[in-house]
């Protein structure tokens, strides 16, 4: 353990297998969130589908979901570059193409805002659970929603998803952006009608200020990326959707045909919610790995040291400065650290240069445009030796909304 901590502190890439891992069944039996909660979240998203479709017809049916596709050229290039044979196929879950916000944050962020909107509408008897929620798009309801405030702290993508959906529904929304947030994300949010407050400090400060701004205001809802159960549930619905994707491609998942999922990790909400959903469905036939930049390994370090959310990478002299803006987080989520302690299979870290290389390789092999954070999972298939035919999934967490010029600059880098 000491050797691993030394390597992490020296900013060297590491691969970690969780020595505290227990069976999915034993961990999930003690966890407060259950399969019924995931199903409840999915039903809520279905109730909102008519309203989402009204505002965002590009979703096709009002359900925000991403493609799932095989990446054969990428796999061949990884094998060549690493002089290694990858057993099984490599797939991408293309959340970079999620409509509305262009990232994995469209799952949890949008879900929590919709849940807040629904609770207001039900409490005030504007609708019943059986009604067509499209009515909530009428001007009179938008005006009523405008009396409520929503706030969030973000490194960029969570702010984008929450800012866009909140402003669309009529809420007064403020996004507290950390120093990492890219200019184009802030510009886009302002254009959509969100208020953006910028900080020169990291994500922790943006969250703290957002939380403070909502204190004592009954009509204000702070979306707490470090602790929110609703965000977590919104992400976990992805597991039900992935199950359908796998069935659609006749991919079997069982003990003989394991699934390995590589999830880019910031504070942990998104990868934690998805890992929870996948373990709930596939139990020990799925192996989940979190991936972080060498300059922002808060979840890994928190789990290895056992300090979890009490740890800040700054205490270890790690600067939290990375091209992977979505992963630039210094302190991990308590809820996700607690869950992952015995549930997660492992993780790895990688350097910014590698992230950029993977991003470029995916673009040149498969013509898929992702942001650096989203490339983190692509190295997973060469990190472990597989003995069985394995389905590898790199979760491609964001990138579609990057302006062309900014993307070109990243490719040049
Ligand atoms: C593109 C992208 N990938 C992954 C993540 C990680 O999600 P989380 O911070 O919930 O761990 C983020 C977070 O903003 C992101 O923007």
- Ligand 1 lining (C-beta closer than 6 Å): 103-105, 155, 157-158, 264-271, 326-327, 329, 371, 373-374, 397-398
Instruction: Tell me whether residue 79 is exposed, middle or buried, using C-beta atoms within 10 angstroms of its C-beta: 0 to 12, 13 to 18, 19 or more.
Output: middle
Q: How far apart are CA 116 and CA 311, in angstroms?
A: 31
pLDDT at 285: 98
What are the Cα distances from residue 128, in Å, to 51, 120, 231?
Answer: 14, 11, 23
The mean pLDDT value for 290-302 works out to: 98
Same fold, 2-38+61-100+235-412 and 105-229: yes
Going from the Cα of 131 to the center of ligand 1, the distance in angstroms, rounded, reads 34
The mean pLDDT value for 124-138 works out to: 97
Going from the Cα of 266 to the center of ligand 1, the distance in angstroms, rounded, reads 5
Mutate to test the pocket of ligand 1, among 105, 159, 207 (most ligand atoms within 8 A of CB): 105
- pLDDT, one tens digit per residue, over 193-203 is 999 999 999 88
Given a cut of 90, is residue 171 above it in pLDDT? yes
* Strand boundaries in 206-276, DSSP class E: 220-223, 259-264
Given a cut of 90, is residue 387 above it in pLDDT? no
Our CA angle for 280, 285, 286, nearest 5°, is 65
- Classified as helix, coil or strand, 67 is coil
Number of C-alpha atoms within 13 angstroms, CB side, residue 14? 24
Our CA angle for 33, 37, 38, nearest 5°, is 105
Instruction: Tell me whether residue 237 is exposed, middle or buried, using C-beta atoms within 10 angstroms of its C-beta: 0 to 12, 13 to 18, 19 or more.
Output: buried
Query: Tokens representing 28?
Result: 């999930």
Given a cut of 90, is residue 148 above it in pLDDT? yes
Q: Which helix (H) or strand (E) holds 53?
A: helix 35-55
Q: What is the percent of the chain with per-residue pLDDT over 90, rounded to a whole number? A: 92
* Strand boundaries in 254-337, DSSP class E: 259-264, 286-293
The packing angle between helices 105-123 and 269-282, to 10°, is 90
- Classified as helix, coil or strand, 90 is strand
Q: How far apart are CA 40 and CA 5, in angstroms?
A: 40
Going from the Cα of 147 to the center of ligand 1, the distance in angstroms, rounded, reads 30
Q: How far apart are CA 337 and CA 366, in angstroms?
A: 34
pLDDT at 121: 98
Name the closest-CA residue to atom 16, ligand 1: 326
Mutate to test the pocket of ligand 1, among 327, 359, 362 (most ligand atoms within 8 A of CB): 327
**CATH T-level assignment (fold) for domain 105-229:** Rossmann fold (3.40.50)
Ligand 1 atom closest to Cα of residue 265: 11
Query: Tokens representing 110?
Result: 């949008």
Mean confidence (pLDDT) of the chain:
96
pLDDT at 284: 98
Going from the Cα of 284 to the center of ligand 1, the distance in angstroms, rounded, reads 24
Name the closest-CA residue to atom 14, ligand 1: 326
Mutate to test the pocket of ligand 1, among 96, 101, 103 (most ligand atoms within 8 A of CB): 103
Instruction: Tell me whether residue 185 is exposed, middle or buried, using C-beta atoms within 10 angstroms of its C-beta: 0 to 12, 13 to 18, 19 or more.
Output: buried
Name the closest-CA residue to atom 15, ligand 1: 326
> What phi, psi does 104 have (nearest 5°)?
-55, -25
φ/ψ region of 107 (left if φ > 0, alpha if ψ in -120 to 50, else beta) reads alpha
Name the closest-CA residue to atom 3, ligand 1: 397
Going from the Cα of 409 to the center of ligand 1, the distance in angstroms, rounded, reads 21
Q: How far apart are CA 59 and CA 53, in angstroms?
A: 6
**CATH T-level assignment (fold) for domain 2-38+61-100+235-412:** Rossmann fold (3.40.50)
Going from the Cα of 164 to the center of ligand 1, the distance in angstroms, rounded, reads 17
Going from the Cα of 125 to the center of ligand 1, the distance in angstroms, rounded, reads 36
- pLDDT, one tens digit per residue, over 31-77 is 999 999 999 999 999 999 999 999 999 999 999 999 999 999 999 99
- pLDDT, one tens digit per residue, over 246-295 is 999 999 999 999 999 999 999 999 999 999 999 999 999 999 999 999 99
Ligand 1 atom closest to Cα of residue 154: 14
Instruction: Tell me whether residue 184 is exposed, middle or buried, using C-beta atoms within 10 angstroms of its C-beta: 0 to 12, 13 to 18, 19 or more.
Output: middle
Question: If you ran DSSP here, which 8-state letter would residue 229 be given?
Answer: H
Instruction: Tell me whether residue 191 is exposed, middle or buried, using C-beta atoms within 10 angstroms of its C-beta: 0 to 12, 13 to 18, 19 or more.
Output: exposed
Whole-prediction pTM? 0.97
pLDDT at 181: 87
Given a cut of 90, is residue 216 above it in pLDDT? no
Q: How far apart are CA 301 and CA 237, in angstroms?
A: 27
Mutate to test the pocket of ligand 1, among 93, 207, 265, 326 (most ligand atoms within 8 A of CB): 326
- Structural domain boundaries of the chain? 2-38+61-100+235-412, 105-229
pLDDT at 1: 80
Q: How far apart are CA 23 and CA 345, in angstroms?
A: 10
């Amino acid at each position: 353990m000491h050797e691993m901590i030394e390597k992490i502190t020296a900013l060297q890439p590491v691969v970690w297998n969780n020595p505290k891992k227990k069976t999915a069944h034993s961990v999930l039996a003690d966890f407060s969130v259950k399969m019924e909660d995931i199903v409840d979240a999915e039903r809520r998203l279905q109730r909102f589908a008519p309203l989402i479709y009204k505002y965002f017809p590009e979703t096709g049916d009002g359900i925000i979901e991403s493609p799932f596709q095989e990446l054969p050229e990428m796999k061949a290039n990884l094998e060549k570059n690493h002089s290694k044979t990858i057993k099984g196929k490599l797939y991408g879950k293309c959340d970079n193409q999620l409509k509305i916000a262009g990232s994995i944050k469209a799952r949890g962020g949008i879900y929590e805002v919709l849940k807040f909107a629904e609770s207001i509408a039900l409490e005030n008897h504007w609708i019943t659970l059986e009604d067509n929620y499209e009515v909530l798009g009428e001007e009179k309801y938008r005006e009523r929603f405008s009396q409520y405030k929503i706030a969030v702290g973000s490194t960029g993508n969570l702010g984008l998803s929450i800012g866009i959906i909140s402003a669309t529904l009529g809420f007064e929304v403020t996004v507290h952006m950390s120093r990492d947030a890219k200019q184009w994300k802030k510009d886009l949010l302002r254009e959509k009608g969100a208020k953006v407050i910028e900080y020169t400090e990291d994500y922790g400060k943006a969250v703290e200020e957002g939380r403070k701004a909502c204190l004592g205001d009954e009509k204000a809802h702070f979306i707490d990326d470090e602790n929110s159960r609703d965000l977590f549930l919104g992400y976990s619905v992805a597991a039900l959707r992935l199950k359908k994707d796998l069935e659609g491609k006749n991919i079997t998942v069982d003990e003989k045909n394991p699934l390995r999922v590589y999830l880019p990790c910031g504070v942990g909400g998104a990868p934690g919610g998805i890992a929870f959903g996948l373990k709930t469905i596939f139990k020990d036939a799925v192996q989940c790995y979190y991936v972080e930049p060498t300059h922002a390994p808060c979840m890994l370090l928190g789990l290895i040291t056992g300090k979890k959310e009490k740890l800040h990478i700054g205490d270890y002299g790690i600067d939290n400065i990375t091209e992977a803006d979505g992963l630039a987080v210094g302190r991990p989520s308590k809820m996700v650290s607690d869950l992952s302690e015995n549930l997660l299979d492992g993780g790895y870290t990688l350097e910014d240069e590698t992230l950029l290389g993977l991003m470029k390789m995916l673009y040149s092999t498969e013509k898929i445009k992702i942001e650096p954070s989203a490339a983190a999972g692509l190295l997973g298939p060469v990190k472990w030796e597989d003995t069985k035919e394995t389905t590898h999934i790199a979760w491609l967490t964001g990138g579609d909304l990057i302006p062309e010029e900014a993307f070109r600059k990243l490719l040049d880098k």
